[in-house]
Structure 1
Amino acid sequence: MKNAIHPDYHQIVFRDRSADFAFLTRSTATSDRTITWQDGRDYPVVDVQVSSASHPFMTGRARVVDSAGSVEKFRRRYGVAHRSSKA
């Protein structure tokens, strides 16, 4: 590898405040804020809006969208007639 062309790769904490969830990993992301981790050391911390602890798909709170009903509603609203495949 060439020297002095790669960003600093270091340990950092990503924190999801909405779910009270944080994890320590390695990244090139930087932050001026720090947090004391479970091992007693201080690490830079980046707050994220969504993580696996708060994302609806990962938590099982995902909504199922009725796409067939949406298509029919669109056709009724804008008068798009269903075309048959007969020519």
Structure 2
Amino acid sequence: MKKKIHPKNYRPVVFKDINNEKILICRSTVKTKEFFIKNGKEYPLYKMEISSYSHPFFTGEKRFLGKTGPAEKFKKKYKNYKKF
């Protein structure tokens, strides 16, 4: 490995999945403003919207997000107009 290019501020950080409240503690350099206390120790907290605990690929779930794409919106908007 090259010397003097890697960050020196690695520390244990809590990564929290906000969808299901699962946590993962690993070393990281991510900057955080919040903290999490576990077993009497204070860790920096990073909140994630999705992780392997909630991603459909890893969980095997099929989810409908409720969002329609541009093609569906266009079809819905113009379905009552006459075709020429």
TM-score, normalisation: structure 2 = 0.63
Q: Which stretches of structure 1, 4 residues or longer, exceed 3 Å deviation after superposition? A: none
Q: In 1, Cα distance between the equivalents of 2:14 and 2:57?
A: 23
Task: Kindly indicate which of the two structures has a greater share of residues assigned to strand.
Answer: 2
What CA deviation, in whole Å up to 9, does each residue of 1:8-65 have, x standing for no partner? Answer: 111100000111101110011120110101x2100000000111110001111147xx
Larger Rg over CA atoms: 1
RMSD: 1.6
Instruction: Report percent identity of matched pairs.
Output: 38
Q: In 2, Cα distance between the equivalents of 1:58 and 1:6?
A: 31
Aligned residue pairs: how many? 60
Please report how far the alpha carbon of residue 6 of structure 1 lies from its aligned counterpart in structure 2 after TM superposition.
3.8
TM-score, normalisation: structure 1 = 0.61
Amino acid at match of 2:51: S
Unaligned runs of 5+ in 2: 64-84
